[in-house]
Amino acid sequence: MNLRIISWNINSLRKRIDLLDYLSEAYTPDVVCLQETKVKDDQFPHKAVERIGFPHRLTNGVSGYNGVAILSRRPLEQGPVRDWCDRQDGRHVHAVLQPDDHDTPVELHNFYVPAGGDEPDPEVNEKFAHKLRFMSEMELWGAAMPQDGAVRVLVGDLNVAPLESDVWSHRQLLKVVSHTPVEVDHLNRIQRAHGWIDVVREVVPPEEKLYSWWSYRARDWSDSDRGRRLDHIWVTPALRPALKHAEILRDARGWSTPSDHVPVLADFEI
C-alpha cells in the first residue's frame, strides 16, 4: 500500500476550502489531517470536502476555534474519543485506516497541542499551564500504549519547535513560548515514551534550518524568514522502513490568503 499523508494547520477550513482543493489536486494525498478547522461538527462542510475527493471524514470540532479533522480517500474507522485535560475542546481525533487485502491497518492520531499564550510561566499564565499539562498527558498516553510493533502515525500542530535549527534564532527564542527548554523537554519525553520517529528529520538533516510556521506580522515572511517548525509527522519504528519521502511545503505560505502554517507531507510504502 502506498500512502501519502499531509498534516496542515489550515487556520479556518471554511475560509481556505479552495486551498484544500488546490492542495488535493497538486499533491494527491491519500489522507489529510487538519488542525484549527474552526468549525463545529454539525457545520462541517462535508459536501465540499467530498467533492474535493475525500469521501471518508472524521471530525472533532467546537464553535469558533480549535478543531481537528481527518480526511481520507480510504475507509476510516473511528478510534476512541478522549478529552484531554478534562476539556472537550477539539484537539485530538483518532482513526484507523482500513487496509486493502493483505495490507496493514494504520492507526492515525491527529493533534492540535495548545499554543500556550505569551508568558512561559505556568504560575501566571493558565494557557501555558494547560499546554504543559496537555503534553504531560500525551507522554503518559504514549507510554501506556502497547509496544507491540503496531503501525501508528502521530501528526499535527504540536506547537513546539524542538531543535535549534527548528527556529530562526535559538538564542533569541529560548524564552519565547514554543521553544523554551521546558516545552522542548516535554516534547522529547512524549517522543521517547512511545519511540516515535520524526520523519521529516529522517530526510532533512537535523542541522539544516527548517520551518513550518511564519507569523502574519512579518511584512515579508520569506525575506525575513523568521520561522519555526511547529508541525510534525511522527511514526512508530514499525513504519520507519516504509518511509520513502518527507517534506515541508514551504511555498504554501505564499499562496493567496494563506494559513500561517504550511503543510507537512510524508510518503510511505507499507
The residue type of 67 is G
Q: From CA 131, how far away is CA 38, in angstroms rounded?
A: 19
* Whether the Cβ atoms of residue 179 and residue 167 lie closer than 8 Å to each other: yes
Domain spanning 2-269: CATH superfamily: Endonuclease/exonuclease/phosphatase (3.60.10.10)
Question: Which residue has 521546558 as its cell numbers?
Answer: 182
Confidence of residue 147 (pLDDT cuts 50, 70, 90): confident
Cell of 45: 462542510
Q: From CA 51, how far away is CA 265, in angstroms rounded?
A: 22
Q: From CA 237, how far away is CA 240, in angstroms rounded?
A: 5
Tell me, what's the pLDDT at 168?
Answer: 98
Looking at residues 12-30, what average pLDDT do you find?
98
Looking at residues 159-188, what average pLDDT do you find?
98
Q: What is the 3-state secondary structure (H, E, C) of the chain?
A: CEEEEEEEECCCCCCCHHHHHHHHHHHCCCEEEEECCCCCHHHCCHHHHHHHCCCEEEEECCCCCCCEEEEECCCEEECCCCCHHHCCCCCEEEEEECCCCCCCCEEEEEEECCCCCCCCCCCCCHHHHHHHHHHHHHHHHHHHCCCCCCCEEEEEECCCCCCHHHECCHHHHCCCCCCCHHHHHHHHHHHHHHCCEEHHHHHCCCCCCCCCEECCCCCCHHHHCCEECCEEEEECHHHHHHEEEEEECHHHHHCCCCCCECCEEEEEEC
- Computed on alpha carbons and rounded to an integer, the radius of gyration of the chain in Å comes to 17
Percent of the chain with pLDDT over 70: 99
Say if residue 107's pLDDT is above 90.
yes
List pLDDT tens digits, range 63-102. 889 999 999 999 999 998 889 999 999 999 999 997 777 6
* Whether the Cβ atoms of residue 160 and residue 178 lie closer than 8 Å to each other: yes
Confidence of residue 109 (pLDDT cuts 50, 70, 90): very high
Reported pTM: 0.97
Question: Which residue has 472524521 as its cell numbers?
Answer: 58
Q: From CA 47, how far away is CA 37, in angstroms rounded?
A: 16
